[in-house]
Amino acid sequence: MQRFKQHITELSNPADIAAYRKSVAGVTDVDSRDQSWNDTLTGHMKKFGFKKLGSGKYGSVFGNAKYPYVIKVFMKDAAYLRWLKFCMSNKNNPYIPAVRGKVIKITPTIYAVRLEKLTSGSFTGPFYDEYRKWVADNSFKSSNKDIQDILDYFGKGDNKKLLDIHGDNVMKRGSQLVVIDPFYNWFGKYDSGKFTIDPNEVDDTLF
């Protein structure tokens, strides 16, 4: 099996990566209205055997049966980057996805990260039950430390106003529920064109 470092070397072939970067150089605003970066990327990833598995407001996930991970490519969404940092700092928590390596900066606006392969699953089980209790009463404390660590993070600072927990933002590792993307970053088109969390609020230690 080809190592990820070798694969990235292929993806970083000067002719390929230069062409992709050039094609999306004009994409400087983190706003899903401009999807040119995503459309171009889909064709680029296809050349390497990766197909799109799903997409959201600011990113797409690609998979290849040859590799035990998926690649998520996304616009500079500071809310999602916050979640990635939490995941990378809590690697032993079974309710969060395993992040492989660091976040890769493709352009100043577009990033990529490797994540473990997961399967679709319904939002049920202990985490769901405890989360609903916490939503109803933020003073609720779970007896499960891993769940409580996540709830504490959800309630930290302005994270609570970013919460976007529903069935599309959770997956499964076997029977284990995994929270893949609990935050959203709202772009207020009619609110002075501002995001809930400024995309420029990015922690360089992620890269």
Q: How does pLDDT run across 144-154, given as a tens digit for each residue? A: 999 999 999 99
Residue closest to 111 by CA, chosen among 101, 121, 97, 120: 101
- Judged against a pLDDT cut of 90, whether residue 170 lies above it is answered with yes
Say if CB 85 and CB 206 are below 8 A apart.
yes
Residue closest to 150 by CA, chosen among 173, 126, 122: 126
Contacts of 206 (CB under 8 A, 6+ apart): 81, 84, 85, 88, 102, 103
Tell me the average pLDDT across 86-99.
96
Q: Measured between alpha carbons, how far is residue 109 from residues 4, 134, 149 in Å? A: 23, 35, 30
Tell me the average pLDDT across 194-202.
76
Residue closest to 198 by CA, chosen among 151, 162, 150, 146: 162
Query: What tokens appear for 40 in the block?
Result: 């171009």
Tell me the average pLDDT across 62-66.
93
Residue labelled with tokens 């089980």: 125
- Judged against a pLDDT cut of 70, whether residue 189 lies above it is answered with no
- Judged against a pLDDT cut of 70, whether residue 29 lies above it is answered with yes
Residue labelled with tokens 């609110």: 191
69-88 residue pLDDT tens: 999 999 888 889 999 999 99
pLDDT of residue 16: 67
Cα distance between residue 18 and residue 201, in whole Å? 26
Domain residue limits, the chain:
1-207
